[in-house]
Chains A and B, each alone.
Chain A
Amino acid sequence: MSPGLDVMEMRRQDLSKGETGNINGPQHRGGGWPTRNQQLLLRAALLQGRAAIEAWEAWRSRVDLGRLDRGSHRLLPLLFRNLYAQGVDHPLLGTFRGVYRYTWYRNQILLSQVIPVLRSLHEAGIESLLLKGAALVHLFYQDAGLRPMADFDVLVRRDRVADAMDIVTRLGWTPKGWSRERLTTRRLAMQQGLAFKDAGGREMDLHWHVLAECLQANADDDFWDGSTTMEIEGIPLRTLNVTDHLLHVCVHGAARNPVPPIRWAADAAVILKHAGATIDWNRLIEQVRKRHVVFLVRDALGLLRELLDAPVPLWVHRSMQALPTSWSERLEYRFRTRPPLLLGRFPLRWLQYSRQAGNVSLPRKLLGFRRFLQDQLGKESLWPLLVWVMRRGACRVGGATTHFANRWTGASSRKPVGR
């Protein structure tokens, strides 16, 4: 166990704070980092021996399975496999084994639906680079039952997006949001990718950028240049190298999400376990610096090191701490990892756009931001966008008013009890 991390001490502290079996207490809802109970689950699912068993026992004594959050739910197959390997015998393992089977079935069916897409892209001479779940399962988990996949993510080069969209659509997948006819250079420059759905409700994402934070035309050259080859059912594919996979998992995963995004920690730990020796740490540090994601990756690696005993060298952590950062990077980190405030995701969208726009005058930036929002939100003209902004604003103000009113009345109603 890591020095400074005593699971039983965590448990005592949380119980003294009155945390119940509900994993996502209000103070953690939507946050980017794992709660105490989620930390226990991660340890139970990923560590070995006594550390895993202690974490498992602490977790199950605190958690009501009937109220399990979706983020934790995604880790149950991995938990099952690890507990099974540790020789744990418990009635809940029957349920967890079922979740493993369910995951395996769903993933295999999803993969079988996407194979024709990959084959057609290959036959058309379009390079496909596998991202996220499918690549991680194939390369690192090496078991389709261990990691649930909601969709399938494929990256193509920006100049082949139109061709790729034609192929995907021809194979029966429908774009969510906008169609091929509305593909413009601006959309390519302002969006990371586009989601598609098939008749069975299965989803795949066609990406032309790896990271939503980096949408510049040449933002993915590094990723393509450093990519490696892989093969699924005889189809030659590309995927990120191990270092870039780790970067992608940390940047994409360790951010606030309605579904607690704790799976990133499991993904990163599995990458480090299976291929930690091949990580090019200097490349990682350089990517982090260049892409302005220092805080996110530094804290993600710190958590992996402390919580899951992941082999992250201390010098890497120190090097990242010494990297120069900007105020906008700090702000972006804050907005990405904490629950939204009154302005919701608006500031984050502004910062995301500012990265893309670079140094332009404020009027040009504001005009560009309007177009950026239109593209992001699928609003074709200004008026629908304004209506959307006003409605969201009204909802936010209403929600905040209710929140503060409840707090005030709650405080008032508690006073007599105190007396």
Chain B
Amino acid sequence: MTPATRFRIKKPRVIHQTLDGEVVIINLETGNYYSLRGTGAEIWSAIERHADLEGILAALGRKNADAGDGPAGMVARFVEELQREGLIETSGQVAPESPESLTPAPDAPSGHLEAAFEPPVLEKFDDMQDLILLDPVHEIDEERGWPHPRPDAEG
């Protein structure tokens, strides 16, 4: 994977939906369910627009310079994780959208560039056979909702 490698969502076997900043994803091949928020959701949004690694970092307001354990390294590892889960694939053919669309919006809060980087997290649920049997009103964590089981129902 090079900084210029572009990515795309593996449609139609991967479907996704965004609501209130949370991206929910299903890999129809495995039935696994995923949730992304914050930085993870922003990265997904950039991949949806066929961004490469540099484009993703630009969308996050970061530069490729801070590699290793910095944001660039975290983003690269996160993208690899998305690939391992079969959610995205590389795409050399599709032209990225205009660079402006991959940079933070002009009206983004000031200090965005300097803000602490929140590592992206891919929340994965692979025990769907059990989770789908939960009553989504009575057997779940009330605050987080399905697919998070009520703490006393886990284990």
Contacts and interface: CB of A to CB of B under 8 A. Distances in A.
A384 interface: no
A100 B148 CA distance: 13
A99 interface: yes
A99 B31 contact: no
Place the interface of chain B in its size category.
20 to 34
A68 B137 contact: yes
Interface stretch (B13-21, B40-48, B72-80, B112-120): B13-21
B145 A94 contact: yes
Contact of A101 (B12, B28, B137, B145): B145
B17 A94 contact: no
A201 B137 CA distance: 22
Interface residues of A, number: 27
A108 B13 CA distance: 11
A66 B138 contact: yes
Interface in B108-155: 128, 132, 136-138, 140, 142-148
B142 A91 contact: yes
Contact of A95 (B31, B128, B140): B140
B19 to A, nearest CB: 7
A98 B28 contact: no
A105 B26 CA distance: 7
A341 interface: no
A100 B31 CA distance: 17
Nearest to A66: B138
A76 interface: yes
Given A66-B138, A105-B26, A84 B17 contact: no
Given A108-B15, A112-B28, A102 B138 contact: no
A102 to B, nearest CB: 4
Contact of A99 (B17, B19, B33, B136): B136
Interface of B: 12, 15, 17, 19-20, 24, 26, 28, 31, 33, 128, 132, 136-138, 140, 142-148
Given A84-B20, A102-B132, A233-B12, 18 more contacts: A65-B137, A68-B137, A94-B145, A95-B136, A95-B137, A95-B140, A97-B19, A98-B144, A98-B145, A98-B146, A99-B146, A102-B147, A105-B24, A105-B33, A105-B147, A109-B28, A112-B28, A143-B17
